[in-house]
Structure 1
Amino acid sequence: MASKGERIDGLDALRGFAIFGILLINIQVFSGWGFVSADTRQALTWSEWDEPIATWLDILVRAKFYSLFSLLFGYSFMMLAQRVQQSPVRYHLRRMLGLLVIGTAHSLFLSPWDILMLYGVMGLFLGAFLNVRAPTLAACGVALLIVTAVALWFAPQLGLADLGSGTSLRLLQDNVPALSGGSYLEVVEANAYLSVSVFLDRIEHLRPLRVMAMFLFGAAAARLHLAERNSGHVRLLIVVALVGLVVGTALAMAEVKLGEESLAHRVVSLLGGVGAPPLLAMGYGAVLLLWWRGRGRLTGAVRSALAPTGRMALTNYILQSAVCICVFYGMWGDRFASLSLAALMLYSTVFFMAQMIFSAVWLRLFTQGPLEWLWRWQMKRKRPRLLRTSTVT
């Protein structure tokens, strides 16, 4: 078992992996590709590859890596709670309030598609599960997904299917042009309205319940110490990997490929939308944790390459937003809606490799990422050491 205060490199590497998947989806809105017409997309370089790439992103990446990130958030919650000796609930509340402040600033000044505010709000409820056993945590997560599916199924009959969708769409149409040609102050104003659009969309699709379910699954995994190489539970990880990848991929493919409007389509769409993201997220996590239990050179190299990025997950997540708006928005780089999806995937890969190098170099000089340092300062109400010295305490 990991001793108190010891980092788990496999957990950090999983966070790094999740950050990369999030970038592959977020780049589509930052770049403007997600907002332009099909005709405009077809005129872009390498656009002939966009349709298959978009399909596989929808199947394997969209919503899956945010789910993995949420899973890891729940894992960290339980792991930190077990380490804090005094007033763990109060410590957790301070931690969530700090995250809420960071997320609000991120949403307003950089990205209205921020996920941290939702994490901060839903994370407040995690304190109630501090002493709950793993089977109960997992059962509560499953129950939340079932409630989500049932609510979405009956939403049309209850008149809730289009809750806020008209307002959300109007806000998008009115404010996206500011991203491509406005000043920074106009972008900030647009972000405020777009944040409302994102909020309405997430409420309509019951994203808070889905996020909370993943928090609980992650907390259950932490109870079992699944991220630690010497914790056992190999059979459980194998089952999760097989079920998650096979069933999750099948549901996601059916949701994307089944185009005919029918009762079957509605059922498959519901099962795929609610079930595929958590299944694939858990499948990805289980496969990588099983692989990283090995001690081969390739295993260690991949884990070690991803771990620094994951240790600085908060900094890297917000850094992605900052760099992207500088590159794509009209006020600076002015590359909005000018790259095909294929080109954006190449850009994302190169950018993430740069983040891995940056994170590794930074952590050789400093104990943690800059935003992690500020967040910990706020949580502990005492400034932590940032500069790394020869003697590590």
Structure 2
Amino acid sequence: MIRGVALLGVLLMNIVDGFRLVPTYAPGVAAEEALSPAERLVDDILYIFVADKAMTMFSMLFGVGLAILLERADRQGQGVQLLLRRLLILFAFGLVHAVFLWEGDILMPYAVAGLGALFVIRLSPRLLLALALVLPAVYPLLLWRWPHLFPQGGPSASAHHRQALAVYAHGTYLEVVAFRVPNVFGVHAQFVLLRGFAQILGNFLLGIFLWRNGVLRRLESLGTWHVGLAVGGMVIGAGYAIFRVVLQPARPPSSMPIALVRLGWNMTLQLYAAGYGAALLRALQRPRARAWLIRTFAPVGRMAFSNYLAQSLLFTTAFYGYGAGLLGRVGIVGAVVLGIATYVVQVAASCLWLRRFQYGPCEWLWRALTYGWRPMVTAIRAPGRAS
């Protein structure tokens, strides 16, 4: 259920900042866009309440999944070998996704960070928590000490941005793929290794800690501590996001302020996402809310992999020149409406699919490749029907 809620936030940010505009291959070169007051308001709301928070919560849940799978693998006598195979297969999925569908792929970074998690996954919960809280500081420290690793703007970057706009707005599918490949192995690889790896790994380890510590195993006896976490996490996280929107200077005078601002952002993201998660756990303790949340969001969360890839297929076809050619023609408000409508359709489609099958199509394929056998895909008995 929580994964399904997080997927909504991921979808909204991907369509607003990714699909509807030319892919940002050139750091420091933003798409020129005149925003109306309504669009500016929606953009600020997304930035304060959704941007990076949904992805952080989603990646924490990926860590929970790693911990659960390790327990099952240990019972089967396979240990981390099973997780290693599963992550390598995920990397292959991500590579195909990034090259042939959308370069904003997150599957490869997840696979790489997951492989890193295998080296420390058996550490004590305290050490896992310590690493989880320290790792988000890695990228800001790199940005401060070695800013040349993260060039911003410049004539070559601007020229590359203009070339990307022309290719994605008017190119054929093969031209888009040919243009995309060097970026996948260039800027995307830099993101994985220098910018995203430590942050994502920290989120994974926090999720592993939450599972190993038993927080998600005893929902009925949580007490009231999660209420404080929900309120505190969201207040602190939203407060810092508002600071970045309203009070942060547009151009800090040196790399050190940029790094400090990014450090504060990274360090509050986990608290903010944990606050959202705690609020959902609190809602689960209310029978009516629990029934509605599970019924609405659990199916789309169970098929998150399939739904994520379906979003890439749908929106690249809608926005790129070889499809409907909507690139640069849809504003933020229109993108949000389109994203919500798509999510509603995916919720309904996921419910219908899971009435018949146990897994989504991509989940089934991933599982089949991991275990080397065909997972059960027989029909699940629907109410009032014979099995």
Asked if the contact 1:229/1:293 (under 8 Å) is kept, the reply is no
Alignment correspondent of 1:340: 331
1:101 to 92, 95, 112: 92
Residue 365 (structure 2) pairs with residue 374 (structure 1): yes
Alignment correspondent of 1:15: 3
* Stretch of structure 1 that moved more, 331-340 or 315-324: 331-340
Asked if the contact 2:12/2:336 (under 8 Å) is kept, the reply is yes
Q: Deviations over 1:271-315 (max 9, x none)?
A: 4332232221111111111211221x2332123200000000100
Alignment correspondent of 1:76: 65
Considering only aligned residues, what root-mean-square deviation do their CA atoms show, in Å?
2.7
Uncovered stretches (5+) of structure 2, i.e. residues with no partner:
24-29
Aligned in 2, Cα 1:243/1:149: closer, same or farther, shift over 3 Å? farther
Alignment correspondent of 1:298: 289
Residue identity matched to 1:250: G
Residue identity matched to 1:73: F
Aligned in 2, Cα 1:226/1:168: closer, same or farther, shift over 3 Å? farther
Residue 127 (structure 2) pairs with residue 136 (structure 1): yes
SS at match of 2:174: helix
| TM-score (normalizing by structure 2) | 0.88
SS at match of 2:137: helix
Shift of 1:376: 0.3
Aligned in 2, Cα 1:164/1:266: closer, same or farther, shift over 3 Å? closer
Alignment correspondent of 2:226: 237
Asked if the contact 2:19/2:315 (under 8 Å) is kept, the reply is yes
Distance 2:300 2:282 in 1: 20
Residue identity matched to 2:44: T
Alignment correspondent of 1:24: 12
Alignment correspondent of 1:388: 379
Distance 1:267 1:329 in 2: 34
Distance 2:10 2:205 in 1: 21
Shift of 1:154: 2.5
Distance 1:381 1:195 in 2: 29
Residue 103 (structure 2) pairs with residue 112 (structure 1): yes
Q: Deviations over 1:364-389 (max 9, x none)?
A: 01110000000000110111122324
Residue identity matched to 1:27: I
* Stretch of structure 1 that moved more, 171-180 or 336-345: 171-180
Asked if the contact 1:308/1:363 (under 8 Å) is kept, the reply is yes
Residue 173 (structure 2) pairs with residue 184 (structure 1): yes
State percent identity of aligned pairs: 28
* Stretch of structure 1 that moved more, 144-153 or 179-188: 144-153
Alignment correspondent of 2:353: 362
Shift of 1:63: 1.5
Alignment correspondent of 1:5: none
SS at match of 1:332: coil
1:283 to 275, 299, 307: 275
SS at match of 2:299: helix
Residue identity matched to 1:383: R
Asked if the contact 2:22/2:165 (under 8 Å) is kept, the reply is no
Alignment of 1:122-201 (within 5 A): 122-156=113-147, 159-162=148-151, 171-196=160-185, 198-199=187-188
Aligned in 2, Cα 1:149/1:237: closer, same or farther, shift over 3 Å? farther
Residue 192 (structure 2) pairs with residue 208 (structure 1): no
Asked if the contact 1:175/1:193 (under 8 Å) is kept, the reply is no
Alignment correspondent of 2:41: 52
| TM-score (normalizing by structure 1) | 0.86
Shift of 1:144: 1.3
Aligned in 2, Cα 1:356/1:192: closer, same or farther, shift over 3 Å? same
Aligned in 2, Cα 1:388/1:339: closer, same or farther, shift over 3 Å? same
Asked if the contact 1:234/1:290 (under 8 Å) is kept, the reply is no
* Stretch of structure 1 that moved more, 340-349 or 25-34: 25-34
2:32 to 37, 44, 55: 37
Asked if the contact 1:168/1:200 (under 8 Å) is kept, the reply is no
Q: Deviations over 1:83-128 (max 9, x none)?
A: 2221120000000011001000110111101000011111112222
Aligned in 2, Cα 1:294/1:224: closer, same or farther, shift over 3 Å? farther
Uncovered stretches (5+) of structure 1, i.e. residues with no partner:
1-12
Shift of 1:229: 5.1
